[in-house]
């Protein structure tokens, strides 16, 4: 594989197709960064929609959507605050249209000619809200690859591309996504043991920081080692919001209100509850 001629800090522009240069960059480094894919106005609309959806879900006392738990913290220990939403586009016609919009076609076909947006599958369209402070169950996320389930079954994870839309301006001190370029090409043992899954948070010599402007889009290979660094700020100033859109191939497997909660989400529910209590008690 040829090393890309563009520097690793390159922010590309999303056109009507993925160029050879972009493909090569993704193959080599395991990620791609596109600048300004959504406008400020669209980001604002999305965040306003999200506030409306949160109010609705809290009013109804919802804990799960189609079997997937909502991760609920308390913003600065004061008010209930949902930090991970699943199937978000079910609650917003605007969002449903937005994720299906023409501009994302090159991203969809990058996953596969017959790929589709999983509005009703897996966890649906996911919205994350990280903040640092009292009552946060999500101030950061330890080192991991997204292929853990495959490793559990002792099979090598296949390429899985995570497509994230970033909704905040994030500089180095705001924490955010850190990844180790090229690790998507590592072997099975490195993918299992290079880091202690979710417990290890230490910066790696080879990691890079993904700094973003609201509206940027990133694609990263799920086999890469990555983590989310805690913001050095607290409260409102530490908010980091991202939207992850699943693109799927293979048989259509929609979920509904009768769908069971996957085992790994059950385990997560316990650790999140403990984390929330600890955060409320310790105030951080
Ligand atoms: O917040 C992000 O950008 C990444 C989150 C992540 O890695 C995950 O949820 O698996
Ligand atoms: Fe991840």
pLDDT digits over 73-83, tens only?
Answer: 999 999 999 99
pLDDT of the residue at 151: 72
pLDDT of the residue at 239: 98
Expressed in angstroms and rounded, the spacing between residue 232 Cα and the centre of ligand 2 is 21
Residue 106's pLDDT band (boundaries 50, 70, 90)?
A: very high
Nearest ligand, measured from the Cα of 218 = 1
Q: Ligand 2 (ion): which residues have CB within 5 A?
A: 146
User: 165-208, pLDDT tens digit by residue?
Assistant: 999 999 999 999 999 999 999 988 898 899 999 999 999 999 99
- Say how far apart CA 155 and CA 96 lie, in whole Å: 34
Expressed in angstroms and rounded, the spacing between residue 9 Cα and the centre of ligand 2 is 20
Per the listing, tokens 């859109």 go with 245
Mean pLDDT, rounded, for 26-49 = 98
pLDDT of the residue at 267: 84
- CB-ligand 1 contact for 177 (6 Å cutoff): yes
Mean pLDDT, rounded, for 145-164 = 79
| % of the chain residues with pLDDT over 90 | 85
- CB-ligand 1 contact for 162 (6 Å cutoff): no
- CB-ligand 1 contact for 139 (6 Å cutoff): no
**Which of ligand 1's atoms lies nearest the C-alpha of 166?**
3
> For the chain, what is the HEC assignment?
CCCCCCCCCCCECCCCCCCHHHHHHHHHHCEEEECCCCCHHHHHHHHHHHHHHHHHHHHHCCCEECCEECEEEEECCCEEEEEEECCHHHHCHHHHHHHCCHHHHHHHHHHCCCCEECCCCCCCCEEEEECCCCCCCCCCEEEECCCHHHHHCCCCCCCCEEEEEECCCECHHHCEEEECCCHHHCCHHHHHHCCCCCCCCCCCCCCEECCECCCCEEEEECCCCEEEECCCCCHHHHCEEEEEECEECCCCCCCCCCCCCCHHHHHHHHHHHHHHHHHHHHCC
Expressed in angstroms and rounded, the spacing between residue 142 Cα and the centre of ligand 1 is 10
Which carries the bigger pLDDT value, residue 152 or residue 60?
A: 60
Expressed in angstroms and rounded, the spacing between residue 228 Cα and the centre of ligand 1 is 7
**For the CA atoms of 93, 99, 102, 106, what is the dihedral angle to 10 degrees?**
-170
Whether pLDDT at 152 is above 70 = no
pLDDT of the residue at 226: 97
| Of the candidate ranges 197-211, 219-233, 261-275, the one whose mean pLDDT is the lowest | 261-275
- CB-ligand 1 contact for 164 (6 Å cutoff): yes
Q: What is the value of pTM for the model shown?
A: 0.95
Is residue 182 within 8 Å of residue 191, measured between CB atoms?
A: no
- CB-ligand 1 contact for 133 (6 Å cutoff): no
- Fold classification of 27-277 is Jelly Rolls (2.60.120)
- CB-ligand 1 contact for 195 (6 Å cutoff): no
Is residue 229 within 8 Å of residue 143, measured between CB atoms?
A: no
- CB-ligand 1 contact for 242 (6 Å cutoff): yes
Q: How high is the mean pLDDT of the chain?
A: 94
Is residue 107 within 8 Å of residue 99, measured between CB atoms?
A: no
Domain segments of the chain: what residues?
27-277
pLDDT of the residue at 125: 97
Is residue 171 within 8 Å of residue 211, measured between CB atoms?
A: yes
């Amino acid at each position: 594989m040829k090393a890309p001629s563009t520097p690793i800090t390159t922010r590309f522009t999303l056109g009507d197709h993925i160029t050879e240069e972009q493909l090569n960059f993704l193959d080599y480094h395991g990620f791609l960064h596109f600048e300004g894919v959504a406008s400020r106005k669209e980001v604002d609309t999305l965040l306003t929609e999200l506030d409306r959806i949160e109010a609705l879900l809290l009013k109804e006392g919802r804990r799960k959507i189609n079997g997937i738990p909502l991760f609920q913290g308390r913003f600065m220990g004061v008010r209930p605050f949902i930090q991970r939403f699943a199937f978000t586009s079910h609650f917003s016609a605007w969002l449903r249209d937005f994720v299906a919009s023409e501009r994302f076609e090159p991203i969809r076909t990058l996953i596969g000619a017959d790929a589709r947006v999983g509005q009703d599958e897996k966890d649906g369209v996911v919205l994350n809200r990280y903040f640092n402070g009292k009552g946060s169950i999500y101030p950061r996320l330890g080192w991991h690859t997204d292929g853990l389930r495959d490793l559990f079954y002792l099979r090598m994870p296949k390429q899985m591309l995570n497509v994230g839309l970033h909704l905040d301006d994030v500089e180095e001190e705001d924490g955010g996504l850190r990844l180790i370029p090229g690790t998507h090409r590592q072997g099975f043992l490195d993918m299992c043991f290079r880091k202690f899954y979710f417990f290890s948070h230490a910066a790696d010599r080879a990691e890079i920081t993904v700094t973003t402007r609201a509206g940027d889009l990133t694609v990263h290979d799920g086999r890469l080692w990555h983590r989310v660094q805690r913001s050095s700020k607290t409260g409102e100033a530490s908010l980091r919001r991202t939207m992850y859109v699943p693109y799927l191939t293979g048989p259509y497997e929609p979920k509904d209100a009768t769908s069971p909660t996957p085992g790994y989400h059950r385990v997560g529910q316990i650790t999140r509850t403990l984390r929330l209590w600890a955060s409320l008690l310790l105030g951080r």
